[in-house]
Structures are given as structure tokens and as C-alpha cells.
Structure 1
Amino acid sequence: MHNDSSFLLLNHNIHIIRLVEERGEANRGEADGGPLLFMACSPTDLRVDKLPGFEKEEEHIFGATGNHNIDIRVEDTGSVDGLRQANIAGGGFEVIHITGHVGFDKKMGPVFHMEDETGKSQKVSPAMLWDAIKAHPPKMLFISGCSTEGAYDVAHAESFAYRMAQKGLSWVLALGLPVSDDGAAIVVAEIYRCLTSGMGIDYAVQGARRLLQERYHPWPLLKLFGGESQAGPLVADGLKTRPANPVTLRYRSLKGSNVRVLDRGFVGRRRYIQRGMGVFRAPGKEGLLVHGPAGVGKTCLVGKLIEHVKDCEQLVFQGAVSENDVVMKLKALFEEKGNNDALSILGLSDLYEDKIKAILSKAFKTQPFSVIIYFDAFEQNLLYRNNQYYVRDEIKDIIRPFLFAADWSKGKCNVVITSRYPFILEHGGKNLSKTKLSDISLPPFDGAEEDKNIRWLQSVAASKHAELYRGYGGGNPRLLQWLDVIARDEGRYDVSALGADLRGRQPESVHEYLAEALATTAGEGVRKFIRKASVYGMPVDATAFEAFDGEEFLDTAVELTLVERDDLVSGGSVYRVSPSISDVMWGKLTAEEQRKMHEHAYRWYDRLISSSPEPDYRHIEQAVRHALELDNIHDSAVHALALGRYFKGIELPRQGLVAMEAVALRVSNEIIDEAKENADIELSEFLNEYARLLLKSNDPKQSIVFHGKSLAIYLQVNGETNLFVADSYEKIANGWQMLGDARRALVFFEKCLAIRLTIYGEKHSEVAASYRSIGGAIKALGDSPKAIEYHEKSLAISQELFGEDHDDVAGSYNNIGLALKAAGEPSQAIKYYEKAIAILTKLHGEEHPIVAGSYNNIGNAFETAGNSKQAIEYHKKALAVFKKLYGERHPVVANSYNNLGSAFDASGEAKQAIALFKKSLAILLDIYGEKHPYIAASYKHLANSHMLLGDMKKAMSYLAKAKAAWP
């Protein structure tokens, strides 16, 4: 409408609104400065000239509203599901502002290009968008972006904005400029300046059009759709100004852990979140490594990722990883889900690595939910060597199966690791962290994201020194949070001097400096308290601090954010000094002060353990740590013994070994002499248990040494004729047997037998066990007839005690069979193997590992007897049982393939044998890598088969590989 000299709509208070429906909506209430929700949609795969500059548009909105009474929230996923969740969580918004690209789909009509969970384009129709916001429809929907209000030739489709107005919204405002255009920025800023100043929507639109008239024809670019509702203000004029974001940062702990992530606050990192989701959803790498300096928000980024994954369980591990933590959390998950098959796998006596692989290949694959295995603060498991970080030796076996075998779960399991540093974990000549994990290097915030982060920090944002704080923080979220604490009470600090001291420091050094500045300013008492509280390596309740003024200073330390508080679901709270500063704070105490704090900590843990019917193993670990710091070997041994037995009870002997090792290595000859004088049986029992675990962990040499130390104390106190000594002799004998010294083994087996005969007499199962052991040692020395005599003695006792159908009887039949086979009588051996199989299948059924082992024994006997056909039949039976029990990827399955291959070799079918040997080799390479005795043996099998075929070239090649594979 024009009056010859100007547009009526631009220069007069005349407003034309496209009436969509005559619905006369009732007034929704007085304008009260309700919140605005901003969402930008920027799909990474959208083929357009320019992607939306949503940071720029968001910046203009914040700039225009910063001094007015309106609260702005940002939805950071760009997805329709994220919009729905944000709208419900916020209880609705006065304005929802969506920026991005609108297009046209032949089937759907006008569509808005939003994002899926990986950042790819998802076409959203007006009906889909309405479904997302209809629970709490906004007073105004602002659609901002390219082609939003364009006309389409196909079927005369109406605009996206028009169709949204038809759904029942009071007002829909459509901006047809790309948000990267400077004109769009002007429009957005002016509209929100007007709306937050108490003007109506109509006046805001008019004001924005006036600003555009020199650049564009403004009418087609900015259109307002609505019903008959009055175009009143969103914010009443004269209301008191309030900060843009009056909500303080709030943290929560990830399920079942002490890992803290932001529950409310700015996380940002949108493209990184999209990359992470892409890893979770796309085939290829099954995990994610997020690394970067302390405080940049690695953990909070992962927290956001986990929020975005639907139907997902999480297992979270923080800092130093242990086998027990892994197994116990897996057990808790499967108990909650009622997965008895998975619990059975965890209950097996297999090696930890085999259990994890079985869980990944079987249990996770069949679950209806996905699982994220998250290792936080993984730098605590790394060792710096040759300018690179490597996973520590004691951690390799714990983490390796998750990286190596994650893809066996068929997409049901993803591994996420956060670490200050990238690292190397070698397996089979490859770095698993590179081949199995997608890498995200997380830098500090900069630009628009840094601005948004600062807005969440009320004191920094309001300070006249805001730019100084920005510079000091360097985009590091944690540093900025501490600076916010300083800004809150900045009158007590010399901000300029602070800046001079911080200039040029690395982030870790800045953390230390700010923590010390906060504590010092709060007072000497607080500073001392923080240092002393750093003695605790895990979160503890408030009673742990009572001995050193916790009641007076704990709350202040929490308020300063130097101590983290986590509220437990069960009630109460636990506390710990922020991990980023605890080591530095602890180092500021003198050696004597540290010793006193270890005494406090040990006494607190010792009382806690004594008063609990089922102590937390983590508390026992801490008691051991503090006792060792005090050189209190006796008490550390008592607690370490409890740990070792606990881990053995849950089939984690290696973890028990690690728990006891630190104490065992401190037991010197002087300590042994003191124990003899003090009749310290508890130390003897500790050394005995440690020696047993060494034997179980295939370290017979050290096992013999520590059994000797244990016996030195025990014999002095109680003499020789007791079962403790007999059992120790037996374990020493087993150690010598493992070392291949059957003669020394026989000496200790005979000592054990003599004591047992004295205590029990002839007719006892332990005496029968000694006869079996002696028979095995004599067989190893080459005297099979004498070995058979001892096995027959053992058999007679077992039959008299238990009858025929018993495992001990079957064991004796198997042992006699082995001795007969060694004596060159395989046909006689077969008869005894058949007896053993008959008993074992009756007791355990066909599908049991001990039955499969007997099938292997009888198969080998048939092969020795020249009956390859029967040998093949039994080895196939053994293989079938083992595969059903353990799956394809297991050492015993590989061994069965080897046995079957040998039988085919013996039958003259070398080609069949080669195929089986290759299957075995593939499994063993998967499990052990290139360097292992089993790999060398497999290459030798292949070499022998090729020799049988007359292919000497290949045979020599495999022999060379066998030599190279020997570690």
C-alpha cells in the first residue's frame, strides 16, 4: 500500500496480518517475560550454498535481549525430538525461534530441514513440528531461514509458516532471508529489541521492516500469520530487568558412578556431539576417544552424548580401572535385566579376557538395549614413555578385550574413553586406540561458544572485568567456573594482579594457581582443610573430615567448588577434593603432615570396615593404601588378605593378586623374623594366599618363594603336623610340576601325603588326592607302571568313599588311561577313558567341559592306536561341546581344531587338516596376537601338513613364521 511518497505500512501505525483462522483465541494471560527457546538446524549433509550461521543469529538475539526481562534457552540438537523434549522440560515457551533451511518435498509438501541424532538432514513437515510443540504451544513461532515463505508451483503448496499457523498457533513469524545475511541479523535484533521492550508483535514487525527498506523490498521477506488474537506485547513495559540466564550450573552423576556431568548449564560442542553420535550409529569403529586438556568439558560432552542415545544402559568407570569394577558392574547390570546366561559367563573360572569376549559376543548381542562402556579420566591408566603415552601393563588386559572385541556385539556395545592424552594400546602389531576408536580432540571454547558459556556464569557476565576473566579462562569451562567464584566476591581479590600471575601459564598450572587463590582468600583454615582432605582418593562422607575441622570448613570448600559434593540416591552425600587439584594440594603438606593424614584416613577406613557386615571392597583397598603409607605391614596384610579372598570368591584371581602384591613385596626378611617372634599367623596366612594366587596366575617360581616365606612363620609357631603345612607342601609341589621339575614336585607331594596320613589315616579323599598327585609326578618321570599303582590306590579309596558315580572316580580312570597311553598301551587306555566318559556324562550330561576334555583324551588314544576314524569322531564331539559352551573365539575351541587337524593328518587327509589348523590359528591370533607360543605351535602344525603334501616351500615359510612368533 503506497501513498505516492512512501509505504503506508512502514510509516504509519497500520498493520496488516494474514488472517489464517477466525478462532478468536482467549487471552493467555498477562505478559510476564516468559522464556524464549532458540533452536538452530544445520544438517551437515545439506547441499546448499551456505549453511545457516546460527551462532551469528543466536548472538544477535542475546545481544538484543540481554538488558531486558526475558530468559533465553538454547536447544542444542537441532532435532525435532530435541525440540519436543526441551519444550516439555521447560513447560512451554512464549517464543520458539527455529532457524535453518526450508525446502519442498513432492510427497510431504513444505518441509524444514532439521537434524537427526548424527547431524544429518531430517525432513520435518508442519504436522511433525506441530506434534513436537502441541503439548505447550508457544505464543509465537518464529521461522527464520532461506526459502521459508517461498511459493511452490507443485499443487500450489502453501508455505511452511502458513501451515503452522493453521495448526492453531497464535502467531507465526516468517523471515525469508538466509541467516548468514546481514539483513537477517538486523531483523532478528530489532524484533527482539521491540518484543523485550514491551511492544506488540505488530510493532516489532513494522520496526524490522523499516530497517530493511534501504536493502530489500521488505514486505515479502517478513510476514506475520495469525488468528484474531490481540497482538499484545510478550514482555510488559516497565518490568524490572533480570539477567538473561538466572539459573546456576547444576551437576549430576552418571548412573552407578561418581562421574559428574552438567545437568543444567552450557555444554555446546554441537558438531562434536554429532560426530560422536555418528560413531554410535554408523558401522565401522565401535568406540570414541575424547581427549583434551583438563577442564575443557570432555566428561560433560560424553554426558550429552549419553543423553542422546535412546534405550541405552551405561557402565561407567572413573580413573584407575580394575577387573573387579568391570565384572561387578556387568554383574549388576545383568542381574537387573535378569540375564542368567550372562551371569553364568561371569561366574565361570575362565580368564577375565575370555569372559569379556564371551559377554560381547553372546550377552550384549542378544539384549534388547544397547550399552555404553565409559572409561573416564583414563589418563590415570597411562604411562609416559618416549614422548608418548602407553596403557600401563597391569591395565592392558582389562581394557584390551573391550576395544578388540566390541564389534562382536553387532552394534549393541560402544566404548567411550575420555583422557587428557591420546594413547597407544598395541595388540597384534596394531594400535587399538587408532583402529578401534574414533578420535575427537577437544579444544577450549572460542568465539560464540565461549560467549554462551560465559553467559551461564552470572558473576563473570555481570562483572566489569568480564573481558579479563575471559582472557584468563582461555575458553576452559572449569577455569571459567572458578573465575566465576572469584568474580562473585571480586572485592577480595586484586584482579589485575591475578591476571599478571596467570599470563602465559598452561591450563594445568592455571588450575593450581586459581585453586590456591580461592582457598587462601577464604582463609588459612580453608586452605589447610583442602590440603588435608586431599588424602582421600575416593568420595567419602562427611564423617571422614571430622578429625580435621570438616564441620567448620567443608561447606565453604564446596561453595568454592574446590570440593565436589555428590548427593546419593540412597540419601546423604559424599565429598572429594576436585581431582584436577588434589595432587597439587596434597603436595603442599609436609611429610609429617601427610603421615598424620594417612593415620586419620586409615583409622577412618578401618572403623568403617569393622562396623560393616559386608565391607565395600573399595574401602578395603583404601585401608591397604593408607596402612602401607604408614609402613604398617601387619594391618595392610590383614586387609589385603580380605581383598584377595574376596576377589578369588568372585573368580577374579588376577585382581586379587594385584591387590595383594603391593603388600607382599614389602615383606622383607626382617619382617619375617619379626613375625616369627610375634607369632604373626595372620601374616603367614596372607603370604600363603598370595602364593596360591601366584600359582593360579601361572607364576610358579614366585609362588614357591612366597609359600616358603609363609611356611617359615607357620612352622615356627605351629610345627609341621597340620593341614596348613600339608596344603602348602602340595602347592609347592604343583609349582615345581609347572616348572617341569617332577622330581622336586614328588618330594613335596610325598611330604604332603605323610602329614595327611598322620591326620586322616588311609581312607580319606585328601589322601586319595595325594596318591593321584604322586602318580602324576611319577608318570612325568617316565615310570608309568608305578604311576598306575598310585592311581589305583587313589581309585580304590574314592570308590569306597563315594561309589562308582563320582568325579574323583572318573578322574582316576582318566589318569590311569593317560598312564597306559604313555606306557604304549592305547587300547587299554581307551577302556578306562570309556569308563570315565560314562560316569561324567551321567553326572553332567553331554554338554560339559570335563566331558569334552575326556572326548579329547579318548580321541588322542584312538589316534595313537591307529584308528583315525574314531579319533576324528571323538574330536568332533569335543569341538561341538566347546563351541556351544564358549562360542567360536576361545582357546579351547582353537585347541579342539588343532586336535581334529592332527587326526586328519594321521588319516592322510592333510588338506582337511590345513583348513582346521588355519581356523585354530585365526582364533589364536585374535586372542593372543602374533607373538605367543600357541601361535608358534599352530604354524608348526601347518608346516607339518604341507610337508605331508610335499609342498616344502610353504612348509619352510610356516616354520619361519613359527620361529618369529616365539616370544
Structure 2
Amino acid sequence: MTSYQLEIFEQIPGSYELRLVAPDGAVKTRSVPRAVVDDLVETVDRYYTEHAIAPRVFGSTQLQDIGTRLAGFIDGDNGWLTPLLSPPGTTVRIVAGQRLRHLPWELLFDNGSFPAVDDRAALLTVRTRGTRQVHTDSPLPSNRPLRVLFMATSPEGVEPVLNYEAEEAAILAATARTGTALVVEESGTLEGLRFLFRDYGAGYFDVLHLSGHATVGADGEPVLLLENEFGGLHLATADQLVQAMAGHWPRLVFVSACLSASASTDDAPLSLGERLVDAGAPAVLGWALPVGDSAAIEFAAELYRNLADGQPIDAAVVAARRHLHRQKSPAWHLLRVYADDTPLDAMVTPLHTTGRAQLRIRHADQQFLDPRTMVSRVAARNRFVGRRRVIQRCLRTLRRPDSQALVLHGMGGLGKSSLASRLLERMPTHQHAVWYGRVDMSKFRELTDKVAFPTLTKHIEAMTLLSQDVVPLSVRLRYLLDANGPLGDLPCLFVFDDFEDGNLEQQDNGPVLSAAMAEILPALLGAIRDTGSTSRVIITSRYRFPAPTGSGLTVESLESLTDVEQVKKLANLPNLRPGSPLDQRIRVRAIQAAAGNPRLLDWLDLIVADATTEPDELLTAIEATADRFREEILAEKLLGSQPPELRRMLAKVNVVELPVPASTVTAMHDHPSADRHIERAVQLGLLEEGVDHDTRRPRYHVSNVLRPLIRPLLTDDEYVEACAAAAQSLYHLWVVEPTNREY
């Protein structure tokens, strides 16, 4: 796109000077009375604010009026606007004082249309910091796919909860043809951002994409709503973000958050976008006013589609803005561009450029294949939702130097395997070796087929090591993972999926490792520990089991989906999603029957898809499917084999439809073996154990999936007694002693 520069500054009291610099360096100047500027600023301050109606209405005549006045201001009596609207399009870099820099130049309106979204000759306005010349040499595009660092933030208690999973999925889908290396920073913290840029090194990423909430404080300072170590709210200033980046700026920073490009037209502090450019970011995108989740996602998808195709930054922004306008989104004009004098050229080459590097990524979900159907058994990357706090805790565990293994534990259907797949996606520097079900030494040796060794020599060395049966397995694995061994500089994630299927044996005190696994797992964990390897083990299991002696094994128990997570999950289901043509009575009953279990939701979504079935028959099918699900997860069999008092405890806990602390469980279940009953029920996955965000102590919940099996275990009087005991315990925790509460 052709580039002009428009400079506006106060020449003398009562008069402003406009200076237009053409691409060939030719300069035009003219003066404008201060009264004209004051009147223009006053109009914008009245109709283009966070609380005004006009910016929220597509096709607002008030916005057209503002745009007409802005166009007239630039055009003057000398027709300055005409050369700016010539094909194939123009970038106008605006250098001005704050009063004029923050006017909505994107709304320029001329001859019945907005040049910013014109199909023939679009006009992109860029707010440039300083008065440096724009005609500098352009960095050459890299001959490879686009690299994006994506960080979403979702602090506890901040509403609304944004659909950051959908944004990530939309970007991946939009760039599927050309490929994009999308690395996700999952913690949402400044520290996590700092470490990722440090680990990958300066110049690795092309784009930093920050997604979340932002606001402007009472002092006018812009802040990002990031997370602290435990997912709580951390208000991060622009200066703190700059410190975290430590000068490792990519070519483009997109702060996709409301008000991230907001600043008033008076002498208030600079916007977040301006602060980042002043600190060294070549170009920053942000939103001037509040923007809806769907509009932000649509814009991001179209932006990255064009960037990944090898389009220049300015052309990609224009294309994304046009896309929103065609969708009749009222947010089309809210995106602002801040930049220094670096040309807004392409960052990568087009797909079929000679010698272009290929993106070699095997998606993690394709490593969790059903051995019979060879179809993935887990949620694909673009279908996974929720589990944010769980993922954050798991990643911290896997990255701790004293940790060797992570066990994902819980009832069948809660998404343990999908979570394991997600963790593999979030650790792209590690190789993956996934086993399903029973693993003996013969299957374990398949490790060498699952890992991509850097050389054939390393591959042969690993095969030779594992085949030396006369040498203890623990010794062989130490040589394998040693710094000088075949996997010394090739960290791996070893995943044992559906571990309970053939790797555990039931004994009186609960499940224990089978004979084959009792040799493999301790040897593998010991080798990781003794060599200091960054390789790790991930196990998914319905049942808990004793950890091998001396191992750093952490258990993360999964709970049913929260209400927010379930809303996101339902949005991905064609029949149970909001707004589907399905009979609402059927939809509500199916959602209730699933009780927050992801797999059961998937099953029921398929069941209700039959439009030829009568509603009453569908309701019957829903109940039958829920019964079959309970049989598949062995809930009925497990319950039947437990002591009557343990089953009654589950029935009592189930009267409370939210997770409760251990003290409330024991208050309802006044029994000498209450602690043992809790431990046993958790071990078998019958009692969900989670972590309370505030106290970071265990909390317990019985899924409503089990309700038909356990509700009959209580008489009506016992049900009332359990409710009363729960109410009394929670009242004491929440009201009487709120400062010392567990929950």
C-alpha cells in the first residue's frame, strides 16, 4: 500500500498546521483555525465514547456525520483527500498531538462510503509515535510459516468469561491451509510471558497475541487484567508488560482487549498501544472501545489468515476490517493501529515460495487413536474447552525439577485423555510417546517407533539399549535418558492412557500396579529422577494407586464441568447448542442427564440428532443412554462392591449440588471411618476431588450422573437430615467464621 504521512501540530496559539508528506517526499502545508479543531474534538467526545450509543450501531448516521467532518478536515479547500483514495490503497501515518491523534480517523466518510473498508482503494490510518521519517528499509519476510505466541487471560471472578478457546480454534482454522506455529502461554501471567520469550529467544515469534480484558483506571492509566500464580486477578500496567518483554518485541503485538487502544482527547496518559510502541514494539493493534467476543474472534481469524498467507501487515488489517464490515458488525471501526517507522510489510512468504520451510507438527489428538477403529478418542485442539486452572496446575507440575509423573484421575468420561492431549499440545518442545491400555515390556519397546530421533544412529542406539534384557530395565533407561544418551537432548512426554485397563490389579486395599507395570513405571520414574531429565510421565486413570517408592508423582483429580465450561462445550455441539432447532424440552433433559460429563454430553448430542423420532421416544433414549453410560464407567458395579456405609456417604454428599470441603462431608457422614470412606471413594473415582481456588484445599462432589444409583439408598428422613447437616456446616464455615473458612 502507498504510504503518506499526515502531521498535525499547533503552530501558534489559535492555529494548527497540517503537513501532508507524499511517498516521493513532496510536502503540502496549510493552516486550520483552533476553533475548527475544538469543534471537531467536542463532537467526537460527545458521540464516540465508551458509553455512547452510536459506536454500537451498525450504519449509525452519527458515525457518518463524524466521518464526514473528519474527511472535510483533511480535505480542506485543496482536495488533499483525493490522492489518498487512489488504488490500490493507502496507509496514512498520522503524527499529531493527543487531542487529534485519538480522533476516530477510521470513520473517514467520503462520497457515501467509508474509505477504511472500500473494496477498491482502502485507506488505513496508523497512529505513528514521533516525527521520524517512514521511508526506512523493510525487513525481509521469513521464508517459513507464521509464528504466533498466543496468551489468553481469564482471572477468577472477572466477568464475562471470554471464549479464548474459540479464538485459538478460529485462528488455527483460518490458517490451516498455510499453517501457523501457534504457541500458547497458558498461565496468563507476566512471568509466564517473560519465560517463553526468553526460552524461544529474540526474533523467534512474528506476533504476540494477548487476549483478555483491559480497562483504564481512575488515574487514566491503562491496565491489563492478567492472572497471578493461582489464577487470581493481577492488574498489569504497560510498564510491567514492557519489563516482562525485556526488549524481545516481535514485529506485531495484538492486544485484543477492550479499551487497549483507548485514550481521551485531552492530556490524559497515553493508551496501552502507544506505551508499547514507545517501549520498542514496531506495531501494536488494539481496540478503542469495548468490543464483543464474537467480533474480536472474527477479526483475529481474518487477520491471521492474511498474515499467514504472506500479506503485508497493513493489507491484513484492512482485510480483517472489511470482513467485520461485511458481517455488519458495529465493531468494524474500533480497531486501531499504532506503529513506529518500520514499514508494515509482510512477515512471512506465501505458501508456495521456493524453499519455504514446512510446518512439521503431528497433532496430539492423532496420537490417541482407538486401536480398533483408528479414530481419535479425544477432543481435537479446536474442540477442547475449559479446565484452565487444572491445565495451569498440571503444567506447573510437569515443569517442576522434582517432578517425574502426573496422574490425571477421575470418573470415566470427564476428559482425562483429552486433557492429556491438551498438555502435549502445550509442551511443543517435547516428543510424544503414547500407549493405550495394558503395557508390558514388548509394548514398551515400541517407544523407539513413537519418538522421532534426530539421527538413525540415535534410533539404533535406543533400540539396542531397550533390547538388552540381561541388564535391569532401570539401568537401561538411565542410559537412554542420560545427557549423552539417545534421549539426552530429546525430552519426551511418556503417556499411559486408560491406565486402569490392564496395568492395575485389585487387592483388598485397592488397586496396585500389575506385575509388568511394577517393573516399567518405577524404572522409568527413577531414570528421570536420577538423570535430571526434563522428560515426564503422564498417566490417565479412573483409579488411584500407590506411587512407586521415591518417585515424584502428583495426582490431579478432575471434576465435572463447571457451568461456564459446560456453556462453552455446548456451543460446540450441533444439536444441544443454544439456538438449535431441537425441542427445548429434549435439550434441557439431555443437558441435565449429562450432569457436566463431557463424554455423556457427546453421546446425548448424537442421540437427539434423529429428527424422525418422537419427543417421548427421545426422552426414553436419553435415559437409556445415561444408564448405558453408568454401566460403561463401571459405576454400578463399583458401587455394588463397596461397603453400605460408603455408599450411604455418597448419597448424603450428593444432596449438595456443589463441591464441599472435607469438614462438611464428615458433618453429613458422621462415621468413625469417614476419612477412609472419602479416601476410598476418591481412589475409585466415585467421589470427585477438586481444589478450592481460595483455600487451595481439597473439595468433594458426587456427580449427578450417579444420582439414580445412590438416591434410593436414603430414606426421605435421612435425606432431610443430610441437607440439615450440610446447611449447618456450610453456615458455620461461610457465615460464623468467614475469616477462617475452608471453602
Same fold (TM over 0.5): no
TM tier relative to shorter chain: 0.3 to 0.5
TM-score, scaled relative to structure 1:
0.35
Structure possessing the higher relative contact order (Cα contacts under 8 Å, 6 or more residues apart): 2
Relative to its length, the structure with more strand (as a share) is 2
Larger radius of gyration: 1
TM-score, scaled relative to structure 2:
0.45
